[in-house]
Structures are given as structure tokens and as C-alpha cells.
Amino acid sequence: MQSLTLEELRLLAQRTQRPSLSIFLPTHRAGQNTDQDPIRFKNLLQEAERRLSDEGMKPRELEKLFQPAWALLDDSFFWRHLYEGLAVYLAPDDFHTYRLPFRLEEQLVVARSYYVKPVLPLFTNNGHYYVLALSLNEVRLFEGTRDSVGQIDLPDGTPRSLDEALQFDDPEKQLQFRTPTPAGAMFHGHGPGDEDRKERIERYLNRLDAGLRPVFREQPAPLVLAGVDYLLPIYRRVSEYAHIVPDGILGNPEMLRPEELQARAWPLVEPHFRREVGEVLGAYQQLSNTDKATDHLEAIVAGAFHGRVDKLVLAADSQVWGTFEDETGRVAHFQAGQSREDDLPLLDFAAMETLAKGGTVYAITQSEMPVAAPALAIFRY
């Protein structure tokens, strides 16, 4: 299973081939209702086959196209190691699966390009954040949105405890240091022994921060720290990550379930997101009567393609299908709902072109949009 990076998402969004299938479904972590996940996936595959058969695709072509998807159903390891959501992309000679740390609505889209908007919460600048629950005995990393949170795997080589981080450093002293310490124990930093302990903790957290850099580099987002009061300032001091939230979740995080971490983290990041989106919407209102901002989808799609869009705000619960001609910049055939054979998901297209050219994308609900249109943009020029 691949890791969904921004670069991987760009490659998916740029691929154009008929048929391109995008399948989304809510899934369960190990120990929950995992037996229902492959059943739901099988039902969506059968529905996709029926649609393509009705469109005239031959049985041999269907068999070749769906072979990797049907094979996935027999992979018991795969179905035992899922997150809260699953995205599957399937086209001739192309197949991708992605675990997602948030719940997805069950959906099947058959078009001439992949549908990526359901996974955009990982890359928009509002509502996506991390929670790092750390103690001397355990490290857990979560990705959160407004409504959910999911634990993600730590990169290879990232220490998962102080012992693991320092197991090869001065083994003789490390053996002396292995006496278990309660996760909530106070650390004051007085005396030679305390200074030695402080130095070990700093090395541990420094190595932890280095191990997490590939995650944070790919998807920069606010980071909420959860841990006892003496650990958090040390991590802030050694970390190179620029988006750590000033306030943290204090206490022993080993005792907190993911949903408890999400409930305590969201109030810490929501003001940041609300302020940032509010500033963008305010700037749009000031520029709306100029050529620096628009809510006309034709201009937004063409502007995104040509690298003009600096800020793009989308209605996450809307989609518009149509066509775009690279040579002329012409956008046509608007329609809501399901695609026609040659249609593009235009909001997806605008979002990916904006991200690819260094712009910023925000996703809110249609009811939160200050205009009736499903998108608005602020241009660079």
C-alpha cells in the first residue's frame, strides 16, 4: 500500500484515461468490524463492472482491468491493516490503494480521470493537523481533521521510546537507565544525575523529530503535542518543525484514546484554521470587484492551469463536471453530480493545478461559502 504524498496526488490527478475508477469507502482498524470492509469493496467492484459492461466493455477487457482489484480481496493482511478510510484508483495498467486517517463516504466514480477531492483534506490548509502523543515509553502520531483522527505509521527508523532511541548509545550506562520511570514523573533538571537524564531525553526527542521530518515535509500542517509538562518544552526546543501549536495536551497521553486526543486537539487548532480562512475570505471580499479575484469557475480553472491562482477556496461538498481545452483555456459542459464520458471533475482539476503551481487550497462547506458558486479564487496577477 502506497503513502499518499502531494506528489503522488498530483500524478493521480494528471492521469487521463477512460475508464478511470475512483473507489472510496469507510473502513475499520484491526479488532473492529473488519470483515465488513472487503464485502463493501466487492459490492462496489460489482457495481463498477456492471456500469462498464452496460457501456459496451467486453468481458475480457473487464477481466484484465479488474484483476488487481479482485486479487486484493484475497489479501487478508491488507484488510487487517486499514485506517478509517480507503481510496482505490483503478485504470488500465494502473492500480493504487491508500489508507486514510479519516472516514470517507462510500462512493464510486467512473470517468476519464481520477477523482481526488475526497482525499484533499490531507492537503488543504484548513482542518488538517497532526497530534504527536509522546512519552518516554511510547510515541504515537495521528492525523486529524475537523471530525476525525487516525493513527499513522511512524517512518522506518523513528524511535518509539527512549530506550529504543538510545539502545546503542553507551550500552553500560543505558542498562543503568532502564529502570522504568512513570510517564507522568516530574523532571526538574537539578543535580548531575538530572542533567544527564535531561541530555538523554533531548537526544531521544531530537532523534524522534528527525525521524518525523519526512512526514511533516510532505504535508506541513499544525502539530499538537500531547505529553507531560516537562517533555513538551524540550521537544519544542529541539524540533525543526515550524508549525507546532503553542498550547498542548498535558498529561500522560498513553492513557488517552484517539478520539479523546482529537476532542482535545481540535479546540487548539480550530482558531488557527478559522482565522486563516477568515483572512482569505476577507481578502476575497475586498478584491471581488477587481480582476484579482473571482467566483467564475471558467476563470478559476483557466487561471489555475496557467499558475495565476494564489488562494483557492472550494466547497468540499460540491462537484462540477465539464471539459477543459489546454490550448484555448476554454471550459465548458458544466453539470453537477455524476460525470459524462469525457468530463473532468473541474474542482479537482483546479485544486491540483493550484497545488502543483505553489498555490494554497482551502476546503469548506457550501453553506460556509460567501457566494453561491462552488469555488472562489484570489489571483497572483
- Angle between the 346-356 and 6-14 helix axes, to the nearest 10 degrees? 130
**Separation between Cα atoms, residue 222 and residue 126, nearest integer Å:** 10
What counts of helices (H) and strands (E) characterise the chain? Answer: 11, 16
Could you report the per-residue pLDDT of 109-156, keeping only the tens digit for each?
998 888 888 888 777 766 789 999 999 999 999 988 777 788 888 999
In the chain, what is the straight-line distance between the N-terminal and C-terminal CA atoms, in Å?
40
Q: Please give the CATH topology (third level) of the domain spanning 288-379.
A: 60s Ribosomal Protein L30; Chain: A; (3.30.1330)
Identify any residues that bridge with 88 across adjacent strands, giving them in sequence order: 23, 97
Please, what's the largest Cα pairwise distance for the chain? 79
pTM of the model: 0.69
Cα distance between residue 135 and residue 124, in whole Å: 30
Percent of the chain with pLDDT over 70: 88
Lowest mean pLDDT among 11-20, 28-37, 109-118, 327-336: 327-336
- What residue segments make up the domains of the chain, in order of their start? 6-122, 129-274, 288-379
Give 250: exposed, middle or buried? Use CB within 10 Å, 0-12, 13-18, 19+.
middle
For residues 226 and 122, the model is more confident at: 226
Q: Which CATH number fits domain 129-274: 3.40.50, 3.30.420, 1.10.1040, 3.50.50?
A: 3.30.420
CATH fold of 6-122: 3.30.960
